[in-house]
Amino acid sequence: MNNTALQVIGLAFGIIMGWLLSPSDYGMTAVLTVFNVIAVEMQNSGFKNALINQEAPTKNDYNSVFWFNVIVGVAIYGVLFFAAPYIAHYYHEPKLVPLSRYVFLGNVFSCLGVAQSAWLTKEMRFQQIAQAGIVSIFAADVVGIVLAWFGFGYWALASQSVLFIGFNTIQLWLYSDWRPSMRIDFGPVRRMFRFGVKMMVAGIFNQVNNQILNVLLGKYFTKTDVGYYNQAYQWNSKAFGTVRGMGETVAQPVLVDAQNERERQLRILRKMMRFLAFVSFPLLFGLGLVAYEFIGLLLPERWLNSAALLRLLCIGGAVMPLSSLLYNLIIARGRSDIYMWSSIAFAVLQVTLLVLLRGYGIRTMVMAYVALNVVWLFVWHFFARRLVGYRLRHFIADIAPFALVAAVVMVATWMLTRTLSSPALLLALRIVIAAALYYVVLRLLHAKILDECVDFLSDKLSRRKREK
């Protein structure tokens, strides 16, 4: 629920920023995102996951990771500071020199909160983590809107990003009971290095996979084109991020807890897979269905070029939470090497494919990006089958019914509403009809996960009424 609140806040403020800023403003900050996220992965060095993957990490383990992250984070900022002119030269945009040096400050703030985040996750204090995110995104977005209102353009987006990281780090410190000490011992870091460095490399390549189109579009196309794509990517990522957050926050700790019980771990995995498929396919396919009405009503007309890209991205977005769950299983089984090499192979294949297709235009590149993400879901499954015996027929049985029902429902909804011309009426009716049809079809098919979700919501509402 808190993850959903986080995405709703982001949705509301994203709409406001879309009215205040231009596609080129978004393009200016989007081309820097890949450097930022790679820097975060390097400073984390996979040690957050290494801490979570331990059964009982000590205070000294957290302290070792904290100081290592601080040292690496500051060093990386120094490197990026002096690399700013080269980044600007790559994109043929001198204004990126001061902008990148400002944006990269977020990495310094981020390195101070890694150990606290790991501690809260290990203690399963997900409520506090979500609350920290909600407070931080609200405060940062308010500042961003004020700056955008006064004409600061892309500097408003940059400030939004830096302040979110800073506010979130402060919140993590407030919620965490653990504090670093000056008795520094890098022994735990050395012990975790073998696992952590694989997680770091995999994380870097995963971020490259996510941001590669921003990098390539920024090189071969205009900043406005990057802005159109980035706007579509942001809405797609908010949607699948909502679903992924439902499972990813608890997936690794829960799967790690069951790592010595393979059959139990497989049962947990399959149940989580069915739930994520039950939510992800209708939400993302539905967003694709209403993409033009959504962009056209909520944002200025200048953003309509994003709608076609959003419709394509939603197809790939539907499988993102499922892939995330599978590679969290791989990590929980202690096979960071598989996670690393699979991520590298995916990145190399994706970069090669997209560079070869750049002459065919942005739409073709996005289609290739989506297709490869769908295919790679089955690569992650291949390794899950080897590790816990998750058979392909079981995997298909867990996800295919929801994908097929969602697809049929969206086609039926489109056919029922295709003659309407009012965007507002189309948006409202398509959401209502698609939701109703999805519920009815699953009810007729006696989908067990639907009954479980209804029972869960009923119990939660009953508890709230009793508490009042």
Q: What is the CA radius of gyration of the chain?
A: 22
Q: What is the pLDDT of residue 416?
A: 92
Return the pLDDT at 92. 85
Query: Could you tell me if 267 and 190 are in contact, meaning their C-beta atoms sit under 8 angstroms apart?
Result: no
CA 63 distance to own-chain centroid: 28
Mean pLDDT confidence for 299-312? 90
Q: Could you report the per-residue pLDDT of 372-395, keeping only the tens digit for each?
A: 999 999 999 999 999 888 999 999
The mean pLDDT of 353-370, rounded to a whole number, is: 91
Q: Across residues 152-173, what is the average pLDDT?
A: 91
| Inter-CA distances, 244 with 73, 358, 365, 439, Å | 27, 30, 24, 21
Contacts 24+ apart (CB under 8 A), 141-148: 141/9, 141/10, 141/13, 141/17, 142/13, 144/13, 144/17, 145/13, 145/16, 145/17, 145/20, 148/17, 148/20, 148/21
Give domain limits for the chain: 1-218, 221-468
Q: Which residues contact 74 (CB under 8 A, 6 or more apart)?
A: 108, 111
Write down the pLDDT at residue 456: 65
pLDDT tens profile 314-331: 999 999 999 989 988 888
State the average pLDDT over residues 136-151. 91
CA distances to 105, 127, 246, 447 from 133, rounded to whole Å, are 19, 10, 15, 34
Alpha-carbon distance of 435 to 422, in angstroms, equals 20
pLDDT at position 412, please? 95
Share of the chain above pLDDT 90, in %: 35
Per-residue model confidence (pLDDT) at position 459: 67
Instruction: Look up tokens 């086609």; give the residue.
Output: 411
How far, in Å, CA of 191 to CA of 385, rounded?
A: 29
Determine if residue 21 is left, alpha or beta; phi over 0 gives left, psi from -120 to 50 gives alpha, anything else beta: beta
Q: Give tens-digit pLDDT for 280-302.
A: 999 999 999 999 999 988 888 88
Write the pLDDT tens digit of every residue in 32-59.
Answer: 887 887 877 776 666 777 777 776 788 8
Q: What is the pLDDT of residue 449?
A: 82
Q: Report the pLDDT averaged over residues 181-206.
A: 78
Nearest CA among 328, 326, 340, 302 for reference residue 385: 326
Helix, strand, coil percentages in the chain from 3-state DSSP, rounded to 5: 85, 0, 15
